[in-house]
Structure 1
């Protein structure tokens, strides 16, 4: 991995002193203004380089620099022209500023600050707009990346050898100390609907409502943020998950007929699938799990006490996934780093034998495979033939960054018709462009596991999506008044999931001859059921939106053109010219343009070459379902178990075996140990943990213990290991079993009631485990009387286990 140093010589001061961020959130869109304060503390002119992350889908729309009282606003120009102008200005002694997007990854930017005089201050302001992602709890997530991890570049690749664009993603800090600059952040939120609350993974000052109807509020980041993690904000509105439309007026000074002149509409859709179809999840599929085993996966999930290593959390998650798969499906597990390997030569049928083989290999997994190269394992997986009637579902787990993000996304997109891709970004600094891009191009779903988030519930949510039958025959139709036409700017919709948002940008052309309302209709088929979702919207532009919707629409269109260019389209020059034209008109960044600002009023004689400094950035790489054969079983269990015994008061009286942590990551530590980490670059360039003075020893999680004992068919054996989960002996369990009841049936009933009684708050994690168990018990109903034995189990739990 080629990483330029933080500074050109050791112990030189870094010129960046502070970052001030103002965020304005309007509905589903955030406008972010960041001001970076530079000071040249050296005795000669300086050129500073600052590499930093932005959200993957952000549209950078303003760049300016203020020196003293003079402000210089940058222009968007063709990239090569901007670079030439910057070099000419700096070499002639003029102050110049250049902002470029990485050619390899759209979430990385490089800022060049040229010819700062000795002792001079410069305040650089960058403004961008971005969409807010909708979470499962219907909150809207904004992430301010404060972390940019090193990106692995394999030796001998074009990027490693070129030294031009490759430098943008490789000029990243490899240090692990505190950054020498401060961050202040303020947020203003406004919405047509009342704001319920605002949460964050960082400490915030109290939320202040600006008006009485709670549609506007402000909040600030508390002082003392340490840059050890990204800043995440979660905004809760009333009815955030309802379909909506925002119509934005165009710019009257823009050329007639251009995208910036006409109104643009942003449609937010939330498809609702028929309930009876949702209840029937698939029991087939080929599930391929791809696990990052690079050195950085040996880091901790977060910095708080009791945290797991990332690789250990991934192994626990694999256990849950393997136990949740339906009998008869196919599966395989890949590990990758600088190389890759798979547990089986090709996907195998899921049964007790293959599950046991896989679990044995999973237990042996370590973060010992060097760097992060994901392209080659993906190529190998895609080269394997698909199994008939077993739709391929790819689950990718990584905490890393790769230099060739766009090449990876192009590969996933080229196989979008043969699989769905579900991606998971682990830890701070995981590339949003890579994680969200793989899910988008693979018609899947992306999840981020940050701070103290637990991986398991998010992964199991994605498994539920994977088990939903694919939505097919998707079409979007518009109904508009006479005189108005529409030009859809977003790529065709290829994937829909229950309750997940879909955005559509469209340009409205012409003038209405009377009507003031439009309609957009989305039609699709879901498991042979035709479904129609419709939204009516007002054509009158929404007030106070600025040009944020236009810029996001332009960004969406530019991204589509970039992919078309990389796919080897015939008219490459025409596509490139169209991208530059859109970028310049909208003032939005692209891979073929750059922001350039030159202070032509300032010129000084420069003797000798300018000193070059790399500005330090924080590096955080250290400190399914089956068809139920007995659908009424759940009701019988809930009725027979006497739920009052699981009230809060009853739980407080439970024996230690039933009072253990309900969180997979909430571990009990026997002694107070402090960990000491050393690191160095291994031969592949990945940061690896070299020694640990002492590590906390967490107790095993009871839920994972129980899940690990389940058979592939869904049942449990009545033995000492199961009794240990309940804090009992095998004899104590066996003595209470009715004579005519099979031991496995008794054990499985005990396991189910324990799950519903003691781990109900983690149901999203064991839901498929329980469904398999219920189905297995249902298949035994011809031999036993289930209600009678549910009663026996509930009596046993009430009078024996729970006392």
Structure 2
């Protein structure tokens, strides 16, 4: 029996010794791309990569023998020249009506831009950053805690010289400052103290009024507005909200974050689309911080303007866009464009697509020539992806329409959904018995699939890990090797116990950084580094001041122990490096060597950016 949560539910799991499992599993995959495949990595051991053609655009990979399938399979596929635009043409379905999306060829343009290093290395030191946080009742608990931790990282990562403010909303709204203020140590600490007190206690999700207030504030000269919106719900006036954002899109960018499965995709995607920003969704066990910090990276770099996509095709062939126009491009962020090709051409015919945009005042152009001969044996993957994109666009239009126009759009969505086999807001999949064509009635039938048995001790550990740790002794769990008993469990909340959870060591260190980018040598820093004050102070070179030494130690710790979370602390580390360079400190090499010895690391000075 396996305990599954707080409710009194136990599910039977058929478990047998591994040697008696009546089946075997293997895994192999074929990779096909318009770009050469450079390598494939996995969290499981792999056999050697086998190339299937001379240009290495097709390859086969197989899992090595002996794997247990005891965790999800992850494959990382690396391509050569990945940042170059690519175009793929897919043949239509032979049985589909010519002129329909599924009957005609579909073309997909993939953009994965890599902007010049000169632009990317000059992080903007200006901007007005406005953070709008949902504090409705559904945000209470772990969501509001994660949001508070995220605001800590954001505030520590802002550049000196910018302006900022924090709004929160529910049935009403609040703001920390009457208007956006200059970012410095005093205003940062004041904001952080207010953030610590924020809870999910402001009622319903009503975002329109605080947005109207934000947009009513006068713009700050030479400080482009960057709006970050965090919400876990949906609103009744999505159309009015998006129209407001669109109306003000000329002087700001909007980055939106949907928290949890209940966040409205129409609202989150619409905010980013109309605001020329980027949308992120945080669901399941996703961490909010890396996704938000990625968007802050985007916000700190110049806006890409005047984006256009132009298709040049042979006579007799026309193109119909299936994707909405691209409103934003970001470094290292993929954008996809789908289109339907209509008409006839020779197999040797070629097409061309040109993408133009302006970055930091400099015009840029990418041009791709491609064969109109469709790819074979693709399983209509591109058609269904294109249909999904088109369906989502039509659904958005339907929400904003009324009367006959609304009914017409709904009819288009249903037709396209049925034709492509892609679900929509107005269609669903129904199980049908292929023998008699009848809809299957009644509840689903559960089939027990034998799985390898874990040791009783492991099963006991799994059961215990799914329960609050303080409850282990209350559960009446018996010793390893005996039957596992799952008695009814009362509803306990974390508030029933007074032991606070330990703070994330990364956030503990980040919270000690000053707005200027430096750290101070004090007992709190020593504790964050896992050392005593004496251990931290003793190896400091005599000619180096305490803040320089403290800041180098913090950077070594980040690079030595938290590289897996680099995207979360990268910006604040850059700020620390800038501060250190401005000090013209002596003995930096000696400090790095002493810091490595103290912390047990081997981080090179060059890796720190020094």
TM-score between the two structures when normalised by the length of structure 2? 0.71
| Aligned equivalents of 2:594, 2:340: Cα separation in 1 | 66
Work out which of the residue numbers 138, 147, 154 in structure 2 matches 1:296: 138
Q: Which moved more, 1:788-797 or 1:346-355?
A: 788-797
- Provide the secondary structure at the position in 1 that maps to 2:148: helix
Cα deviation, 1:565-615, whole Å, max 9, x if unaligned, reads 66569xx7467536624642662589896579999xx9xxxxxxxxxx999
Three-state SS of the structure 2 residue aligned to 1:417 is helix
Instruction: Tell me the distance in 1 between the aligned counterparts of 2:430 and 2:221.
Output: 58
* Pair 1:794-2:592 in alignment: yes
Aligned to 1:710: 513
Q: Does 2:107 align with 1:262?
A: no
Gaps of 5+ in 1: 1-174, 200-204, 219-224, 226-230, 300-308, 603-612, 616-670, 677-687
Aligned to 1:743: 546
User: Residues 546-561 of structure 1 correspond to what in structure 2 (within 5 A)?
Assistant: 547-561=380-394
Query: Residue by residue, what CA displacement relative to the aligned partner does 1:438-496 show, whole Å, maximum 9, x if unpaired?
Result: 33443323334344443322322221111121111211122222332222232211111
Instruction: Name the residue aligned to 2:124.
Output: 282
Cα deviation digits, residues 527-582 of structure 1 (max 9, x gap)? 1232222333221222244555445434534544555566569xx74675366246
Helix, strand or coil at the partner of 1:508: strand
CA contact (8 A) 2:135 2:169 kept: yes
Of 588-597 and 550-559, the range deviating more from structure 2: 588-597
Check whether the contact 1:672–1:696 (CA below 8 A) recurs between aligned residues.
no
Residues 596, 771 of structure 1: CA spacing in aligned structure 2 closer, same or farther, 3 A cutoff? closer
Contact 1:422-1:444 at 8 Å conserved across structures: yes
> C-alpha separation between the residues in 2 aligned to 1:747 and 1:593?
59
State whether structure 2 residue 581 is matched by structure 1 residue 778: yes
Does the C-alpha gap of structure 1 residues 707 and 432 become closer, same or farther in structure 2, counting only changes over 3 Å? Answer: same
Q: Distance in 2 between matches of 1:353 and 1:594?
A: 55
Partners in 2 of 1:548 and 1:514 — Cα distance?
A: 21
Distance 2:122 2:32 in 1: 37
The equivalent residue for 1:237 is 77
Find out whether 1:768 has 2:599 as its counterpart. no
Alpha-carbon offset, residue 360 of structure 1: 0.6
The match for 1:720 is 523
**Residue in structure 2 matched with residue 124 of structure 1 by the alignment:** none
In structure 1, what is the Cα distance between the partners aligned to 2:212 and 2:472? 39
Label 1:480 to 1:406 Cα distance change in 2 as closer, same or farther (>3 A).
Answer: same
Deviation at 1:322, TM superposition (A): 0.5
Equivalence map 1:353-752=2 (5 Å): 353-402=186-235, 408-427=241-260, 430-512=263-345, 515-545=348-378, 547-561=380-394, 563-564=396-397, 573=404, 576-577=407-408, 580-581=411-412, 583-584=414-415, 587=418, 672-674=469-471, 692-694=495-497, 697-728=500-531, 730=533, 737=540, 741-752=544-555
Runs of at least 5 residues in structure 2 that lack an aligned partner in the other structure: 1-5, 14-25, 53-58, 64-69, 437-441, 445-467, 474-490, 602-610
Q: Which has the higher helix share?
A: 2
Name the CA distance, whole Å, in 2 between partners of 1:740 and 1:443: 50
**In 2 relative to 1, CA 799–487 (structure 1 residues): closer, same or farther, beyond 3 Å?**
closer
Counterpart contact for 2:108–2:339, Cα < 8 Å: yes
Q: What is the alpha-carbon root mean square deviation over aligned residues?
A: 4.8
- Aligned match of 1:336: 169
Deviation at 1:672, TM superposition (A): 4.2
Deviation at 1:674, TM superposition (A): 3.7
Structure (1/2) with the larger strand percentage: 1
Aligned mates of 1:365, 1:421 — CA distance in 2: 23
Cα offset, 1:312, TM superposition: 1.9
Are the counterparts in 2 of residues 580 and 593 from structure 1 also a CA contact under 8 Å?
no
* Cα-to-partner distance string for 1:483-540 (whole Å, 9 max, x where unaligned): 3222223221111111221111112222225742222121112112322223332212
Structure 1 residues 255 and 745: alpha-carbon distance in aligned structure 2, compared to 1, 3 A threshold: closer
5 Å-filtered alignment, 1:124-139, equals none
TM-score (norm 1): 0.56
The verdict on how the C-alpha distance between 1:522 and 1:179 changes in structure 2, with shifts beyond 3 A counting, is farther
- How far the C-alpha of 1:263 sits from its partner, in A, is 2.2
Conserved 8 A contact 1:311-1:366 = yes
- Select between 553-562 and 759-768 the one with higher mean Cα deviation: 553-562
Give the match's secondary structure for 2:470: coil
Per-residue Cα deviation, 1:741-773 (whole angstroms, up to 9, x for no partner): 443333333333343344344332222222212
